[in-house]
Amino acid sequence: MENNMPGPMATLDSSILTGRNYENFLSPREREQLARFRAPLRKSEWLAGRLAAKYVFLSEQSGTISVEDLSRFPLTAYRSTEVMRSDAVRFGVPQVGNADLLRDVAISHTNGFACALLGSGETIALDIEQVQSRSAVFYQGNFTERERAWTEESAHVSSLSPHWSFTLLWSIKECLLKTPAYNNLSLWHMPLLDVRVVSGEDNLVQLQSGREISGSFLFLNVEVTDRNTTVPHRVAVSGRHDLVVTAIRGVDRRAV
């Protein structure tokens, strides 16, 4: 991975969509997909994810999307820009675009927040997680002894909240599961993945103290052990005090 991720990344809080008919921003096929959702939160997150993907495609800009940002482009531009997925194309990674151009896009959402990252010709994975406290049983069952030791050390050395550190590790694992190399695994395999942060953690406290997600990333070098195989990865990390965002290029372990 180079110093920058493949393309811009933007986040959208679905609560700003309330009271406005943003379904009109969707293509006919997307509106059909949206109508299938019954749970209000899931529906609003899905809509926010599509709008975020369309916005970064049209603007090529990173950051937190506002109502004013969404109004920058005409309705016709949003309707002609579509997010689509095909299992026969690029491991089923979603693509966003129109008749003239298609780009890979990764979309993730949590508790009403959606995030979209554009790619530049390679598969990409993205995950956004809300920072929250969990039970000791959850931490014991989903993280390795080394990972738990790292969160404890980070709390003493860097003043990182253990809840924030555990959320980061969980997000990295979720992100890995979305890449071609790990897509044979599921959430049940989380305890079998051991993530060791090798370098780059010094600036994490800046993210933890932030109030907004800027759209820029810092980078961690990690080693991920799955049973007897250890593979290095470079992970892009963004976030704020209550959210963690991670992104990884889809490296195939067979090619390493």
- Write out the CATH class of domain 9-122: alpha beta
Q: pTM score, two decimals?
A: 0.90
Q: What is the pLDDT along the chain (256 residues), one digit of tens a residue?
A: 444 556 799 999 999 999 899 999 999 999 999 999 999 999 999 999 999 999 999 999 998 999 999 999 999 999 999 998 765 455 567 899 998 999 989 999 999 999 999 987 666 899 999 999 999 999 999 999 999 999 999 999 989 999 999 999 999 999 998 888 887 888 888 888 999 999 999 989 999 999 888 777 899 999 999 888 999 999 999 999 999 999 998 643 333 3
Query: Which pLDDT belongs to residue 146?
Result: 95
The residue extents of the domains of the chain are 9-122, 128-255
Closest by CA to 170, choosing from 199, 150, 200, 184, is 150
